[in-house]
Homo-oligomer: A and B are copies of this chain.
Amino acid sequence: MFDLFKSLLKAEGYSLTAARKAVFAALQHREPQTMHNIVAACRGQADRASVYRTIQLFESLGVVQRLQIGWKYKLELSDKFSSHHHHLSCTKCGRTIAIDEDPALEKRMRLLAKTNGFLPQDHQLEIRGLCSLCKAGKS
């Protein structure tokens, strides 16, 4: 997985620097991270501007993906590195549940893309609603 990362960079002629390693490391969570999180996690290892630049690079290389979750966007490793791009987010308490890919959904999405002449690279699905706790009024 780290090797895949390394080779993706190399393949496009980018070097594997400390800052890039730090940002990549900051993304190793099941839950998507805010930019704020990532900048904080990289403190001492990469400047804020570098983090932004790195995220842009990663996005263009398809290493990370930007998701809208609730009110702010978050970042997570893309399909190539992990596979939970489906999220349930609670409109009341803000809790987020990351769920694994659903083969039936995947298939349907590929079809949708195809009928529109689209070559799919990545995707995101967010379902907003009330989580089981809020639904029951237990907040």
Contacts and interface: CB of A to CB of B under 8 A. Distances in A.
Given A99-B116, A117-B132, A118-B135, 20 more contacts: A62-B91, A67-B68, A86-B112, A88-B112, A88-B113, A91-B121, A104-B108, A105-B105, A109-B125, A113-B127, A117-B131, A117-B135, A118-B130, A119-B130, A120-B127, A121-B129, A121-B130, A122-B127, A123-B125, A124-B125
Nearest to A79: B128
Interface residues of A, number: 40
A128 B119 contact: no
Interface string A45-80: 000000000000001101001111001010000000
Instruction: Identify whether the interface residues of A are mostly helix, strand, loop, or mixed.
Output: strand
A97 interface: yes
Interface of A: 59-60, 62, 65-68, 71, 73, 86, 88, 90-91, 97, 99, 102, 104-105, 108-109, 112-113, 116-132, 135
A65 B127 CA distance: 11
